[in-house]
Amino acid sequence: MIRRDVLVVGAGPAGSTAAEMAAAAGCDVLIVDRKAEIGSPVQCGGFVPEAFELGQLLPNAHLPQSLVEIPSRCLLHRTSLQRLYSPYGRTAQFSVAGRCLDRRAFDRYLAGRAARAGAEIAPGTRFVPGRENRLCGRASGKVQAEVIIGADGPSSATARLLGVSPRAGAEVGVCIEYEMVGVDIDAQAAEMYFGTAWAPGGYAWIIPLGQDSANVGIGIRPSYLSPGQSLTYILDRFIARHPQASQRLGGGKVVAVMKGLVPSGGMPSAIAGPGILLAGDAAGQVMATSGGGIPLAMVGGRLAGETAEAYVRGEGQLSDYPSRIDEEMGRELGSSVKIRSLVDLVMRSDRSMDLLFSRLEPEMMKDIMRGKMPGRLGSICSKIGL
């Protein structure tokens, strides 16, 4: 029997942050990840706003130091703009200082911080929940912990112990992304492209990784797909045929393919229960308007680690965790889900989406991407008959 104060399932941004916090405060922490190589394969675009932008995005959150100051070895590039394309090619842009991560290096960096704080790490180890929880792989056997922190991503097995799923509440976003080289992109701009032909129910993105390389992907909702369409087909068509993007991407070469899921329905009905906390994607802590989850996962992880540590010391309850999450990012999480539902209404029609684009000022779009409901959005929607 493996016994620990805290078992953290998943060594992504949420899990490693949680493990670092709990271990640094003196808990006996084991962190397991089914990946033999932490951080690989990558399932992410790696775009994270600079710390001062995050301060505006999540004004009540205490950002972990590891998110505020990311070491240069984990950074591939920096951008200064976000540019949006409507289905009919209208553009809008606003300033956003962004960091483009080497996600593999970043996950390893975070896991290293957890290890240096005292956590034991078991890569290549899967957590199997059940009446008796088990570990399989490098660490193997029955496992017991005073607290299990489920930071095991959008298909969380740990969430099943609470009878919930981070994929409930709204249709999950499915994503495919290519790392491309030899592209002729605007290295200053992270770009988003909308339109039913290019990214049904979601958007396509270009995240620069340098002068001639980029992560190029689409995130869509399956119910918006026409019969017979595959994700690969849609992304290839975007690269080859989008009027603006194809000119930048057409000559590029694909060097890596990544796939993954993004929960976009907000937090499930329970993120804490007897002996269990959920953090990051496993807890639906994702900005539903953009699908960006790294900053929220790290704030969620920090709070889960702190709550677990206080509980182990006998100075707090696990049931404190949801209200702490609410205090630090509940408003932004909630309104991003509402905005996403509203934008969903528009997304099925390119005409309506284009009209919405024409009515929104760039700063309002920035607010929307940050999960802030601009006062006029509701009235604009009713004006265009939604």
Ligand X SMILES: Cc1cc2nc3c(=O)[nH]c(=O)nc-3n(C[C@H](O)[C@H](O)[C@H](O)COP(=O)(O)OP(=O)(O)OC[C@H]3O[C@@H](n4cnc5c(N)ncnc54)[C@H](O)[C@@H]3O)c2cc1C
Closest CA to 53 of 14, 93, 96: 96
Residue 109 touches ligand X, criterion: CB under 6 A: no
Which residues in the 298-357 window bind ligand X by CB under 6 A? Answer: none
Q: Which is nearer to ligand X, 254 or 258 (CB)?
A: 258
For 338-349, give the DSSP string.
Answer: HHHHHHHHHHT-
Out of 92, 180, 262, 360, the residue judged to bind ligand X by CB under 6 A = 262
Residue 195 touches ligand X, criterion: CB under 6 A: no
Closest CA to 328 of 13, 57, 110: 57
Cα separation, 213 vs 102, in Å, equals 13
Count Cβ atoms within 10 A of the Cβ of residue 91 and give its class: 0-12 exposed, 13-18 middle, 19 or more buried: middle
Residue 104 touches ligand X, criterion: CB under 6 A: no
Closest CA to 221 of 318, 291, 119, 300: 291
Q: What's the Cα-to-Cα distance from 59 to each of 54, 130, 322, 328, 372, rounded to whole Å? A: 8, 39, 18, 8, 12
Out of 123, 217, 252, 284, the residue judged to bind ligand X by CB under 6 A = 217
Out of 98, 266, 284, 292, the residue judged to bind ligand X by CB under 6 A = 292
Which residues in the 155-174 window bind ligand X by CB under 6 A? Answer: 157
Residue 49 touches ligand X, criterion: CB under 6 A: no
Residue 153 touches ligand X, criterion: CB under 6 A: yes
Closest CA to 258 of 46, 25, 27: 46
Q: Which is nearer to ligand X, 43 or 246 (CB)?
A: 43
Out of 77, 126, 221, 248, the residue judged to bind ligand X by CB under 6 A = 126
Residue 288 touches ligand X, criterion: CB under 6 A: no
Cα separation, 40 vs 136, in Å, equals 19
For 173-187, give the DSSP string.
Answer: EEEEEEEEES----T
Cα separation, 288 vs 297, in Å, equals 13
Q: Which is nearer to ligand X, 355 or 369 (CB)?
A: 369
Q: Which is nearer to ligand X, 102 or 152 (CB)?
A: 152
| Stretch of residues binding ligand X (CB under 6 A), selected from 31-39, 72-80, 335-343, 352-360 | 31-39
Cα separation, 254 vs 269, in Å, equals 40
Residue 87 touches ligand X, criterion: CB under 6 A: no
Residue 13 touches ligand X, criterion: CB under 6 A: yes
Binding residues vs ligand X (CB under 6 A): 9-15, 32-35, 43-48, 126-127, 151-153, 157, 175, 177, 217, 258, 260-262, 280-282, 286, 291-294, 297
